Amino acid sequence: MKPLLTYTLRQGDRALILAQRLLETITHAPEIEEDMALSNLALDLIGQARALYTYVAEIEGDIDGAVRDENHYAYCREQHEFQNPLLVEQPNGDFAQIIVRQFLHDAYAFPYWRVMQHSTDETLAAIAAKSVKETAYHLRHSRSWLVRLGDGTDESHRRAQAAVDQMWRYTGELFETDEVEQALVSASIAFDPDELRNTWLHTVAGTLTEATLEMPDDVVMQNGGRSGRHSESFSRLIGELQVLARAHPGATW
Amino acid sequence: MTVAASLGDLVRDIEDPELPHVTIGDLGIVRSVTIHGATATVLLTPTYTGCPATEQIREDVADAVRSAGLEPDVRLVISPAWSTDWITERGHQRLLAAGIAPPPPADEPGVTFVDPPVACPRCSSRRTRLISHFGGTACKATYVCNACSEPFEFFKAL
């Protein structure tokens, strides 16, 4: 049960932390339509995180008998207990960085959820069947923006390329595997991330070409998210996410 | 009519809080209504996982059950995943009447990167263009009609 718990928690953290970053952009997007789009992406991701955390609460409850809910995992854990990949916690920066981070994530999340529909774990398969449809729209959106930025003006091209160069080092971690994941792969609960990497690379390479952007090479990949080692800005993100729940435990509307 | 059937009609007639005059029955999100003793169990399928209207709908359904003198037990089931194909014909007409272009049939989840041609809900022209893949809610995209110049929302196939 423990590997399933950790694995599901990681996926929930990936969705929640990216959602929190997107929510920081509300009222700061370049146009009102994009403000709505980014907050809608965030809403979908929060919905996915809720479903995943609810399942985590169920698994953990079966192990120790304690009653927890989804909020426990979002609001009552310390920073080092979050196991999201570093990519999704990267600060927003300019619009190109927001879009590139989103695209590199969505190009992973879409094929991830598609294959997870075939998980032998019924709950994960059900969450996947729901999430894959939403994520298909996320990928369409972030992909079309990346093409517009890359194949746009000199300035948008320059910023898009800088963002790709900046974010690339965080993409290797998406496909890393460890004993937690291997245990689930052998039970067909999860799937080999290497195959996912090929699909991801295909989407990313095609889109970068269309966007007249270059794929970075020889980049030393950063990792640590899944062992709880986060970047400095992560503490401020968690501070803002948890401040209300910490100051007023159990508060409701 | 049995009690369960009339309660089912009552529940299905609840309007979606974000789609004017479209009922949750029209949307196809009411999976079942069953009564055991004094308790009515209603299974709902959320449209999108993060849709904020879901909580409101849950409360509205619970109120409807209470108004029928029963104790509500409202549960969300995500499997099988909701599809826009479950929206009824009447739902399509009501969306159109509200100025929202109804969804085309949903394909297998895939990314074609091609945005479908959408007819303007006001003048029926197909000379429309996409403004954004998202609108006021996650389930809709924003379009504008080149013929009548009206902006409108399009209910995306899901």
The ranges assigned to domains in chain B are 3-76, 100-155
Give the rounded percent of residues in chain B with a pLDDT score beyond 90. 65
Average pLDDT, chain B: 89
- Statement: residue B108 has pLDDT above 80: no
Using one digit for the tens of pLDDT, what is the confidence trace for A80-116?
999 999 999 999 999 999 999 999 999 999 999 999 9
At residue B1, the pLDDT reads 62
Using one digit for the tens of pLDDT, what is the confidence trace for B47-78?
888 888 888 999 999 999 999 999 999 999 98
CATH number at residue A15: 1.20.1260.10
Give how far Cα A98 sits from Cα of A38, A166, A174, B16, Å: 9, 11, 18, 32
Q: What is the mean pLDDT of residues A154-180?
A: 96
Chain B contact present for A15, CB below 8 A: no
Using one digit for the tens of pLDDT, what is the confidence trace for A207-222?
999 999 999 998 999 9
At residue B110, the pLDDT reads 58
At residue B53, the pLDDT reads 87
CB A123 within 8 A of CB B127: no
Using one digit for the tens of pLDDT, what is the confidence trace for B10-41?
999 999 988 878 999 999 999 999 999 999 99
pLDDT band at A253 (very low <50, low <70, confident <90, very high): confident
CA atoms A125, A127, A131, A103: torsion sign = negative
Chain B contact present for A29, CB below 8 A: no
For residue A156, with 0-12 CB atoms within 10 Å meaning exposed, 13-18 middle and 19 or more buried, which class applies? middle
Measure A198 CA to nearest chain B CA, in Å: 16
At residue B51, the pLDDT reads 83
At residue B24, the pLDDT reads 94
The total of other beta-carbon atoms located within 10 Å of residue B24's CB is 23
Instruction: Report domain B3-76's class.
Output: alpha beta
Average pLDDT, chain A: 95
Residue listed under structure tokens 């409807």: B64
At residue B107, the pLDDT reads 73
Measure A220 CA to nearest chain B CA, in Å: 30
Higher pLDDT, B111 or A173: A173
Q: What is the mean pLDDT of residues A186-202?
A: 94
At residue B109, the pLDDT reads 59
Q: Do A48 and B50 touch (CB under 8 A)?
A: yes
For residue B118, with 0-12 CB atoms within 10 Å meaning exposed, 13-18 middle and 19 or more buried, which class applies? buried
A205 domain-assigned = yes
Please count the structural domains in chain A: 1
- Statement: residue B112 has pLDDT above 90: no
A75 domain-assigned = yes
Q: What is the number of residues in chain B?
A: 158
Rg (alpha carbons) of chain A, rounded to whole number = 18
At residue A150, the pLDDT reads 98
Q: Cα(A251)–Cα(A26) distance, rounded to whole angstroms?
A: 24
A171 domain-assigned = yes
Find chain B residues with C-beta within 8 A of A143's C-beta. Answer: 111, 113
Q: Cα(A189)–Cα(B22) distance, rounded to whole angstroms?
A: 39
Find the CB nearest A134 among B49, B83, B110. B49
Q: What's the token pair of residue A232?
A: 């400095």
A106 domain-assigned = yes
Using one digit for the tens of pLDDT, what is the confidence trace for A1-57?
799 999 999 999 999 999 999 999 999 998 899 999 999 999 999 999 999 999 999
A125 domain-assigned = yes
At residue B138, the pLDDT reads 83
For every residue of A140-182, DSSP letters joined together read: HHHHHHHHHHHTS-HHHHHHHHHHHHHHGGGSGGGG---HHHH
A176 domain-assigned = yes
At residue A126, the pLDDT reads 95
3-state secondary structure B50-114: CCCHHHHHHHHHHHHHHHCCCEEEEEECCCCCCCHHHCCHHHHHHHHHCCEECCCCCCCCCCCCC
Q: Which domain holds residue A36?
A: 2-247
At residue B113, the pLDDT reads 63
